[in-house]
Amino acid sequence: MTDQQKIEVLRDELRAHNYNYYVLDNPVISDYEFDLKLKELQVLEEKHPEFYDPSSPTLRVGGSITKNFETVVHSERMYSLDNSYSKDDLEDWEKRIQRILGDSNVEFTCELKYDGASINLSYENGIMVRAVTRGDGFQGDDVTTNVKTIRSVPLQLKGEFPLKFDIRGEIVLPFEGFAKMNAERVESGEEPYMNPRNTASGSLKLQDSSVVAQRPLDCLMYGLVGQNTGISTQWEMLEKAREWGFKIPSTAKLCNSTDEVLAFVDYWDTRRHDLPYETDGVVIKVNSLRQQEELGFTSKSPRWAMAYKFKAEQVATLLNEITYQVGRTGSITPVANLSPVLLAGTTVKRASLHNADQIAKFDIREGDTVFVEKGGEIIPKIVGVDFTKRSPDSEPTRYIEFCPECGTPLTRTEGDAKHYCTNYYGCPPQITGRIQHFISRKAMDIEGLGSETVEQLYQEGLITNYADLYTLTKEQLLPLERMADKSAENLVAGVAASIEIPFERVLFALGIRFVGETVAKKLAKAYKNIDALMKASVDELTQVNEIGERIAQSVVEFFKNEKNREIVARLKQYGLKFSLSEEQLENQTDKLKGMTLIVSGVFQSVSRDELKKMIEDNGGKVGSSISSKTAYLIAGDKMGPSKRSKAEQLGIPIISEKEFFEIIS
Ligand code: AMP
Ligand code: ZN
């Protein structure tokens, strides 16, 4: 087989596996096998940029950066939906429709209303060519690169499809993935996201598509746009789109009467809590497209569709006590301890109160009867107080002033809603929290050591920071309660083995505030070793793509601290990896260091995104407009004439893609 054939075969295989896994929810090979095949394809594609394919499964991992999202006008407006809140509303709507159509036999398709971010996908010859957000309904943002990373969006269609059409759907973040993302954020000292919907729409506008690729987004489709599709009903459209490879939830139902529609609404009002993603209602659509056309639109919504909104579930319960948790970074989170109550299918005992402002805003007090609601969030929230039930001798909540764990006075910086305990080295939950983070799976992944053992080792005075782990001996461990010979050995061996963990994960493990997994990777790539990173100033750090002021400050502060420097020095001495490996360095050079390059036009052997990634991998920056500081203009076909003349005017060298490859090779 030639390389080209191999590439084709791998692409087809991976497409099929993607579809099985993400659309059908029915994987036929292991994740490991899948990753191997993907790697193989990546290597071949890198070797042969001439076989570039805009729908290759390798695009799912992202990598290219979008600085500015282009505005695109929708081929047809993306309307809102009219809302109804009662069965009477729905019945009125149906009567209205029957009157306009002069027909009392109207069929309806009922679908769930998925709560996420709307998206319009354009397909040409079966290839996904563009993804645009709803925006104001008339025009939205081009987020194609990011949407390509969403596994359930087919990049290439199957079967027989119209040559050119748009299809619309909702990008959602399922609960499970959302919870996992939040757990990781909390681990790296960041605030958790509030709800899946905002996080889904926020994800579409991230600059770095590889970050989007890591988010477990899903795309559920509901509507086709385009003339001459040969389709005559909404129901048929859903079935056809499913055949072409789109993810269409099987929850939709064709209804012949108002009673059936109402039964569908009733059923899902409670059952929706079993779904893996958030829904906030039902969308009822006239099934016949011919009738839809006859009904047309009002100034803001189609007359042939209606949303029925579910009510957010709310219960009242007693708030027994407000307690305060201290996180790994010293952040204080107030928690409402409630009398257990059943809400949306689960028993709720606790709710987060977020911060002092939240408590003050609702004037929440111990002993109050409070209203608890479960919306898109996983943790229920308190949405108000039943003041009629407040006892006359109740007193306003006084937020704590001292750390409940170590007694240190709490501080609060401007612009931050949270209080912090700054006793970094003396506050027990901060000390153990940092060590627990250090050993966690995504950091040093130390086998034979768990969170509880960390607590135990700390209580016994054997460790006070993560560097101490590397001096533990079997003899020290054996006297501990529940510590058998074998487990002591495993622990010591696990710690010793961790020195093989690569630099970027060691950096993540250090637990620098705001330095999560992705940021750690970026910093490792940019600085290559810890010594360079420790010397970096805030200004230099913010030059690195996606590293903002806040992260930069935190990094500088961390390394300024004498104790932290001492711990890093000890870890180095124990043999942990504090620089990138040879292999990691190989694909990167400094050849373009300090240079800004402009990419313009269409290229033969690589995509623009790939070209941009190559620039960054070699230390350069991708600029957006030509100035006297531009080092090179890489010109492809169809480059705008104004760009060329501007570059000529300023004396900027204009080079071809070939010449660029020579420079970096
Ligand atoms: P609204 O924003 O409340 O006016 O509702 C309109 C939005 O509902 C559309 O822009 C869609 O993104 C979203 N939506 C979710 N599920 C569906 C569905 N099954 N059919 C149509 N629209 C839906
Ligand atoms: Zn404390």
C-beta 283 within 6 A of ligand 1: yes
Q: pLDDT category, 376, cuts 50, 70, 90?
A: low
Last residue in a domain, options 529, 551, 585: 585
The bound ligand whose nearest atom lies closest to the alpha carbon of 410 is 2
Ligand at shortest distance from the CA of 268 = 1
Structure tokens at 283: 């969308």
Say if residue 345's pLDDT is above 80: no
Domain span holding position 36 = 3-61
Which residues lie across from 159 on neighbouring strands?
A: none
139-141 vs 313-326, strand pairing mode: unpaired
pLDDT in tens, 108-150: 999 999 999 999 999 999 999 999 999 999 999 999 999 999 9
Domain boundary among 342, 376, 411: 411
Q: Provide the CATH number for the domain around residue 647.
A: 3.40.50.10190
Q: If you search the block for the tokens 């620089």, which residue do you land on?
A: 579
Assess if residue 324 is contained within a domain. Answer: yes
Nearest to 13, CA basis, from 43, 30, 34 = 34
Tally the C-alpha atoms within 13 A of residue 96's C-alpha that lie toward its C-beta: 12
Could you report the per-residue pLDDT of 222-263, keeping only the tens digit for each? 999 976 788 999 999 999 999 999 999 999 999 998 889 999
Q: What is the pLDDT of residue 588?
A: 74
Give 36's contacts (C-beta < 8 A, 6+ positions apart).
Answer: none
| 361 labelled catalytic | no
DSSP 387: G
**Position 423 in a domain:** no
- Please say whether the beta carbons of 204 and 146 come within 8 A: yes
Does the pLDDT at position 378 exceed 70?
A: no
Taking the C-alpha atoms of residue 548 and residue 539, their distance in angstroms, rounded to an integer, is 10
Give the residue carrying structure tokens 């939906």.
Answer: 81
What type of residue sits at position 259?
D
Backbone angles phi, psi at 142, to 5 degrees: -80, 110
Inside any domain, residue 73? no
Q: Are 129 and 188 in contact (CB under 8 A)?
A: no
* Per-residue pLDDT reduced to its tens digit, 397-446: 999 999 999 999 999 988 788 899 999 889 999 999 999 999 998 899 99
- Whether residue 305 is found in the same domain as residue 165: yes
Distance, in Å, from the CA atom of 444 to the CA atom of 502, rounded to the nearest integer, reads 9
CA-CA-CA-CA dihedral for 517, 522, 525, 531, to nearest 10: -80
Strand partners, 225: 166
308 lines ligand 1 (CB under 6 A): no
For residue 363, the Cα-to-chain-centroid distance in whole angstroms is 33
**Are 283 and 358 within one domain?**
no
Q: Are 131 and 267 members of one domain?
A: yes
Which residues are in the CB-under-5-Å shell of ion ligand 2? 403, 405-406, 408, 421, 423, 427
Q: Are residues 17 and 88 in the same domain?
A: no
The amino acid that residue 367 corresponds to is G
Record the tokens describing residue 363, joined without a space.
Answer: 């004037």
Which of these three, 348, 380, 411, is where a domain ends?
A: 411
Residue 620 confidence (pLDDT): 83
Listed residue (32, 38, 31, 33) closest to 15, CA to CA: 38
Model confidence pLDDT, tens digit, residues 258-315: 889 999 999 998 888 789 999 989 999 999 999 999 999 998 999 999 999 888 778 9
- Kindly report the CATH number assigned to the domain that includes residue 467: 1.10.150.20
CA of 170 to the centre of ligand 1 (A): 8
Is the same domain home to 155 and 262?
yes
**Would you place residue 525 in the very low, low, confident or very high pLDDT band (cuts 50, 70, 90)?**
confident
Tell whether 249 and 114 lie within a shared domain: yes
Verify whether ligand 1 is closer than 6 Å to residue 285 (CB atom): no
Same domain for 398 and 470, yes or no, is: no
Spatial CA neighbour of 23 closest among 275, 176, 249, 238: 249
Q: Are residues 223 and 346 in the same domain?
A: no
> In 3-state terms, what secondary structure has residue 461?
coil
Instruction: Classify residue 335: in a domain, yes or no.
Output: yes
Q: What CA dihedral angle connects 649, 653, 657 and 661, to 10 degrees?
A: -160
Query: 67 in a domain, yes or no?
Result: no
Report the CATH number that the domain containing residue 44 is assigned in CATH. 1.10.287.610
- State the total domains in the chain: 6
- The rounded mean pLDDT for the chain is 91
Residues 238, 109: Cα–Cα separation, whole Å: 10
User: Rounded CA gap, 129 and 9, in Å?
Assistant: 22
Residue nearest to ligand 1 atom 18, measured at CA: 113
Question: 252 and 335 share a domain?
Answer: no
Query: Residue 252 is part of a domain; what is its CATH number?
Result: 3.30.470.30
17 and 115 share a domain? no
Per DSSP, the three-state class of 448 is coil
Q: Is residue 616 one of the residues assigned to a domain?
A: yes
Among candidate residues 37, 47, 113, 253, the one labeled active-site is: 113
pLDDT interval class at 6 (50, 70, 90): very high
Judge contact between 516 and 445, C-beta under 8 A.
Answer: no
Percent of the chain past pLDDT 70, that is, above it, reads 99
Do 383 and 435 share a domain, yes or no? no
**Ligand positioned closest to the Cα atom of 411:** 2
Joined together, the tokens standing for residue 297 give 């639109």
Distance (Å) from CA 190 to ligand 2 centroid: 18
Give the global pTM.
0.66
Q: Is residue 77 part of a domain?
A: no
> How far is it, in rounded angstroms, from Cα 329 to Cα 281?
39
**H/E element holding 4?**
helix 3-18
What is residue 19's DSSP assignment? I
Q: Cβ(268) to ligand 1 under 6 A?
A: no
Tokens coding 572: 């180095």
pLDDT over 60 at 494, yes or no: yes
201 lines ligand 1 (CB under 6 A): no
Q: Are residues 614 and 651 in the same domain?
A: yes
Does any domain span residue 231?
yes
Which residue, judged by its Cα, is nearest atom 2 of ligand 1? 80
